[in-house]
Structure 1
Amino acid sequence: MKSISFLKSIYKLGILFLLLSLIFGLAIMPALSAEKGPIKMVIAHHFPASLEDNEVQLSMVRFKNLVEAATDENIQVEIYPNCTLGTEVEYTKEVQAAGKTIQSSILSSGAFSSFFPSYQVMTCPFLFPDFPTAWAFFDSDLFAKFMDQMRSETGLKYLGTFDDGGGFVAFTNSKRLIKTVEDMKGLRIRVEENPAHVAIIESLGAKAVPLEWSQVETCLASGVAEGQFNAPGLNAAMKFWELVPYTSWTGHLYNSLNWVVNDEW
């Protein structure tokens, strides 16, 4: 009996020691964090820096304000819009590489497919009939499981999906309005570096010109491409009407943006 009583006493002392250790650890964490300096989170994306013509930069600024306020600025968020840190693929590779210089990025479906080829299925024509159906899908358990597969294959953790400039795309070009399939014949259309996009455009009789995002404005101005397609919000933010004034809202694709962060960071 004495041995049992002794063991109980040791057990209680052990629990007390663990509780005191936990309290002490929590008490000194802010001090240790302050000594090491704030944690930096760098986020890169390809949308303009303006807060008035796109949802991405506005959302990131709101995220920055919330995070820094909630952590007493122990986490500081730096936002680099408009491909400041390279192309979508280049800066997302930095996110993938242990997140040492860039921890997070937002990238288009075409660029995202470079990391997760299965995502090309999301660029199938007429996949969604309307906005509510698209939103319900991206909020579904099915899509969450799909992105868990991406996480295991890429080392990128999925944070959320944006409608890329409004989702359903519109063609813009410098030659004519597109009212029928015949109007597509012979047009040189810039597409994302995505085999699915190339196949769609060429099946319509046009010539696909695959280029990464930072080259779009130059290729349209020079005539290397005579048109492109993106959702109306992005077309407006980039003022594409100055280069390609004919707009046809075909809605044949639903463009999405994926926000990711390094999984280990």
Structure 2
Amino acid sequence: MRILLPLVASTAIALTAVMAEAKDTIRVAGNFATEHSSSLAMVKFEEELERLSNGEIDVNIFPAQQLGGAAENVQAVKIGTIELMWVGTAYLTRTVPELEIVGLPFQFENREQAFAIVDGPVGAALDAKMADEGMTPMGYMELGFRQLTNNVRPIAKIEDIEGLKIRLQPNETHLATFRALGASPVAMDVKELYSALEQGVIDGQENPFAIINVAGYAEVQKHVSNTGHFFDFISVVANKKWFDALDANSQAMVKEAMATAVAYQRELAAEQDAAGLAQLTGKGMTYTEVSPELAAALREKTADVAADTRSRLDPELVKLLKDEIARLGM
């Protein structure tokens, strides 16, 4: 009996280890702060999928650049070293340039218009383009309207933007927009942004109020304005080869859990955005509201950028977007 007991115990331990290894594991990477709405939504995804699968699918969430910056995560998902990621859509535009069609300057007046576009035929067409690059889109979350901050001066007129060295995402349309406004845009991964602002390497950056707040940029920036120059999305993307290899039941569970997470994030993002500006001014940032005159001047100054971007993209996609905008009465 004394001989059998250790044998039974060791067998049980080995069996437990084998069972653990047999569980499907999904690694999900993101560069957003732990308290950002998208990171909280990924926790919701983890809870939902583990519930739906009765614990047979194990989800490991890695927010806050734990598995590298945004650009690194894109490459990792594309080649399959990470199964899933959530990332600002602009980081995917160098792989899938057609995504620029939903990132044109001053394209949307509100979040409802933006989601009507990506949740419809335009979004489906973009999904097909991403599949060609080995990625399976799982949904669009809200990054939100991007707002300008800087350490030099308040932004009350277009001339105040001229000469500012502004960090932007690596998106050609975004960069061209700020060139048209007279700034000196710099493409930079988000993982380098805080230190660049702190050291004065750049003058400013642009992000939604909620991101500016949770990323701590109020500690290294003085001025903020509600320029709202782009509405930005967060793409949730899976490695296509990995997703296609899942059985149909597992695919359905992943989709259902992600749909719940995306819906949760959109609601939470709107709440965080509404509260973000008050939190920034409470931390000492000076807020300068964009006047109707400045808003009109910004649109006029960047109109050619939108036209140029459309000219570089698939004409059928451009027509599809135009038709959808007309159908929705935007």
* Class of the TM-score when normalised by the shorter of the 2 chains: 0.7 to 0.9
Which structure 2 residue ranges, 5 or more long, are not aligned?
Answer: 1-17, 243-330
After the TM superposition, which segments of 4 or more aligned residues of structure 1 sit over 3 Å from their partners?
A: 33-36
Instruction: Return the offset for 1:135.
Output: 1.8
- 8 Å CA contact 1:41–1:78 kept in 2: the answer is yes
Question: Equivalent residue of 1:208, what SS?
Answer: strand
1:133-154 deviations in Å (ceiling 9; x for gaps) = 11211211222122222212x1
Equivalent residue for 1:159, pick from 138, 144, 148: 138
Instruction: Return the offset for 1:213.
Output: 1.0
Q: Does 1:42 align with 2:27?
A: yes
Question: Equivalent residue of 1:255, what SS?
Answer: strand
Matched residue, 2:42? 60
Alignment root-mean-square deviation, CA = 1.5
Matched residue, 1:172? 149
- 8 Å CA contact 1:172–1:229 kept in 2: the answer is yes
1:86-135 deviations in Å (ceiling 9; x for gaps) = 121212212111x2x31011111221112211112222111112222112
Which structure 1 residue ranges, 5 or more long, are not aligned?
Answer: 1-32
Q: In structure 2, how many angstroms separate the alpha carbons of the residues matched to 1:203 and 1:140?
A: 31
| Alignment CA distance shift 1:35-1:255 (3 Å) | closer
1:168-200 deviations in Å (ceiling 9; x for gaps) = 111011111112111101111001112212111
Identity %: 28
Instruction: Return the offset for 1:36.
Output: 5.4
Point out the structure with max Rg over C-alpha. 1
AA in 2 matched with 1:55: S
Task: Using structure 2 for the length normalisation, give the TM-score.
Answer: 0.66
Task: Using structure 1 for the length normalisation, give the TM-score.
Answer: 0.81
| Equivalences for residues 43-122 of structure 1 within 5 A | 43-50=28-35, 54-97=36-79, 99=80, 101-122=81-102
Question: Equivalent residue of 1:260, what SS?
Answer: strand
Q: Does 1:185 align with 2:162?
A: yes
Q: In structure 2, how many angstroms separate the alpha carbons of the residues matched to 1:231 and 1:36?
A: 40
- 8 Å CA contact 1:158–1:260 kept in 2: the answer is yes
| Alignment CA distance shift 1:36-1:209 (3 Å) | closer
| Equivalences for residues 219-238 of structure 1 within 5 A | 219-238=196-215
Structure with more of its chain in helix, by fraction: 2
- 8 Å CA contact 2:147–2:227 kept in 1: the answer is yes
Q: In structure 2, how many angstroms separate the alpha carbons of the residues matched to 1:95 and 1:75?
A: 19
Name the count of aligned residue pairs: 225
- 8 Å CA contact 2:167–2:187 kept in 1: the answer is yes
